[in-house]
Structure 1
Amino acid sequence: MLNRETSGITLPGTAQGARTDPATRFGAPLDPRNNSLNFIRLILALMVLFAHSFFIVGAGTGPGFKGENLGGWAVAGFFGISGYLITGSRFNNRLGTFLVHRIARIVPAFLVCLVAMAAIFAPIAYYIQHSSLHGFFQTPTTPANSIFANMFLKISTYDIAGTPAGVPYPGAWNGSLWTLYFEFLCYLLVAFLGTFAIVKKTPWPMVAAFILSVLVWANLQKIDPYIQNNLDFNLLARLVPFFLGGAVVKVFSKRIGLSWQGAAVAAVLAAASILGLEGFGNQLAAPFLAYVLLWISTWLPSPKLVLKNDVSYGAYIYAFPVQQLLAVFGAYHWGVWWFTLAALLATMPLAIASWLLVEQPIMRSVRRRS
């Protein structure tokens, strides 16, 4: 979903007595041109697709662990990787350039998806439901309103013209898009933190921000009465630690590189936190989970096409409406596994089209101008 950016490290001399760079001793830095992050993010997007299949076919919430289903853990992985990459982007760009890049990366494809749902997916479902398109443009949630109401990333309407209906999970065309609003809020948080020179000079302010975010989540029940149990605040408090966990890994990346020894330690610490701490252990484990994913990206083979083409964002935003349209045609009767396979085959062409026709051209244009 995001650009691959990292900081290079100059290797010191090898003469006897020469000072050894910590990143050399503890692992290599992430190579921005030789990693499988695109592939990992695609896998995470398909994990979300699989998790949503259970809801959409009416088979419950699917597999889960420690309060999160498979999709929730995939989103946590997304946010951790994003935290690492976006922090690097902020440190390497001025505020204006950073914001333009982030908007260009996330918003245009999002808007095209909104239009596609209103102009293609919803009319098909409405016609199947009513045997005509009569009244389609005068429903309580009109197609135009569904676009306008959601165009600033915060999803306020999930149905379009009363569709989808007659399915196990009615009234929602896209149950994935809600996370984008909170991801962009995380971008703004890092944009703000990056305005302070000390945040770039030492890792401890970012560590403090991460610890504060975990404390907020751990004490949410005490905070809720003061914010009237605001759902947006609750969701943000749940996701920010995962994002800042990736940011913590980034600010330490010049001191501690990626290695199998580090990944083993991180995995143990993540397991101890998740299994041993109720309520906030998942969030506290965020830096360790992000480190493990980043380390995996240094050795996991990636298909060459995916290495150069990041179709994960398109897969993420189009999977749910594709699944719902399949459900409208009755495919939910096929069961989770066959339904997931059909959704995967139908989603990937849209994801590829989104990358080739919208995301990549716009990002190239923006970079050229910046």
Structure 2
Amino acid sequence: MTINKYPVNKENNYRVAVSIIKEAILRSQYQAAKLVNREMLSLYYGIGRYISANSRDGFWKTGAIKAISERLCKELPGLRGFSETNLKYMRIFYEEWSPVIENKDLRLPKLTDEIDTSLLLTVKSSAKADDLEIFMDLSFSHHIVILTGEKDLAKRWKYIKLAITHKWNKRFLQEQIKSNSADKYGALPSNFISTIHNSENAFKALNMFKDSYLLNFINTEEIGIRDIEDIDERVVEKEIVHNIKKFIMTFGQDFAFIGNQYHLEAFSHDFFPDLLFFNRELNCLVVVELKTGSFKPGYLAQLMTYLRILDDKVKKPHENPSIGIVLCKTANKDFVEYVIQDYTKPMGVATYRINSEMPERLREALPDVEELKKLL
């Protein structure tokens, strides 16, 4: 007797087959698109190289690129992507990247020379092989957004990698460059990229939180504490709640204060997170746990518990998963990055300083807040 090892349900068989075939088609289309994009980049690089050699140092006069674009469109009806502006972008593309990509001994093309459209695919670059692979996967229009929006080479590479890894569209890429995300990315040790599945929301979260905060409205002298080491979490919490408007202005935009020592309950266990906020931009609850000492891994486990209960019992259906921030006095960033990645809820660790910890000479040099208000 032969036993059929495949499911008897035909619909299920068809569904499995369609899924496997669809995956193969999409994978093939993606690879084809990557190859086409690489060919186009190499073409644009070659054209940009040719235009640069003949317009910068050659005999072309003002208006030459415009005239060439118009003739191209007449001789190749329906041709798109070769306007005067795009031809100038191709020149920029070549001129900005050739010092990084090309060997210096390559001869520039003359007017009658044939354009090498495979140069970018075959050149032995001084850049890392992995970097060049990522470089070739980014669309030309994305490259132009980066080249026209960012001048620093290291940041350009960072935006290329981020745009490819997280599939940013041009609009979002422009926003990240305008907000200088290259500097902010990675500043706050967190697991946002791996736990917030929408990449735009992940980078909003990265941009929302700093890695360090100056709580200059907390003055130990005013609250009767001489030794900074004697200050505890409750004192910091009390001063933050008392100065909640100032804290929110320090913390960031679009935060609404929900409460402190917010009561959470699960399986007859009571929990009281220090501070709870809602952020309109991120559309999620944000819980802040205050610690006056150095960072400890156990703080993340405590925060994980709060986030699970908040998501299960407090979060509204239309809201995004809650975010947790540990705010402590000191933290080794590399150590935090090392231990935080195993947690499945979005969390970050920031540090803070209070007014009394600033050097006396610096505090004396800073203008008084009330005097500033009068001046303004």
TM-score (normalizing by structure 1): 0.23
- Structure with higher strand content: 2
Structure with the bigger RCO (C-alpha within 8 Å, sep 6+) is 1
